[in-house]
Structure formats: C-alpha cells, structure tokens
Amino acid sequence: MTQAVPRLSPRFERQSTPPPPAPQFGPIRPDRVTVWPMDDGFFGIDVHWRGRECILRAVVVRRLLAEAGYVAQPGNSQDGRRWELRVGPVAADDVAKVIATYIW
C-alpha cells in the first residue's frame, strides 16, 4: 500500500509576495530660516537643520541651489549635530522664490 503525500493547503503554498513599498522620503524643510539684508540691496538667507539627517538635507538643498545658480556656503557645529547653509547674495525679488522653490 502506498501512502499518498498530503498536499499542502493553499494557505501554506508559496505565493509571490508583492514588492516592498517605495521608501518615503521626509521633507527637507529646515529647522530655521533667517533672511537678512546686505549692504548692497541684496539679501542673505541662513538655513539651519538639526538631527541625524541634517547633513544629507543640507547637501541636497546646496546642490539644488547650485544648479539654479545661487551661491550657498555650508557650515556645521563642532559636534556635527547642526548644519547650515548661508545663501546669497539673493535679489530682493527672488528671496521668496528661492525659499519656496529650493529651501522649503
């Protein structure tokens, strides 16, 4: 007498699993933005980030600004927990556009 091998029920059969969802990236919004006037009628923008991903956020925003033709000088605290960009000079008419498009 031969014994039949029991077939696994469908819930135990291997099914193709859907791919994992695409990673959700958080906003690049800074912790603080300061706009200050310069002597020549232009403005400077200081942008600050704090936290673990702050350097990555600063690098991304700096690259976006450079591609758009704006100068952004990076800086950081000695412990590396805070990064900043000093953007400028920016024309008075462009300050809101730069913040809304590249920084915020």
Q: Is residue 9 part of a domain?
A: no
Q: Is residue 61 part of a domain?
A: yes
Digit-coded pLDDT (tens) for 81-103: 899 999 999 999 999 999 999 99
Q: Is residue 21 part of a domain?
A: no
Digit-coded pLDDT (tens) for 1-47: 566 666 656 565 556 667 666 555 555 789 999 999 999 999 999 99
If you write DSSP's letter for every residue of 27-96 in order, what string do you get?
A: P---SEEEEEE-TTS-EEEEEEEESTTHHHHHHHHHHHHHHTT--EEEEE-TTSSEEEEEEEEE-GGGHH
Return the C-alpha torsion angle 27, 55, 82, 90, nearest 10.
-70
At 104, list the tokens. 């915020």
Q: Is residue 5 part of a domain?
A: no
**Residue 32 domain boundaries:** 28-103
Q: Is residue 75 part of a domain?
A: yes
Q: Is residue 89 part of a domain?
A: yes
Digit-coded pLDDT (tens) for 42-81: 999 999 999 878 888 899 999 999 999 999 999 988 777 8
Domain containing residue 61: CATH number = 3.30.70
Q: How many domains does the chain have?
A: 1
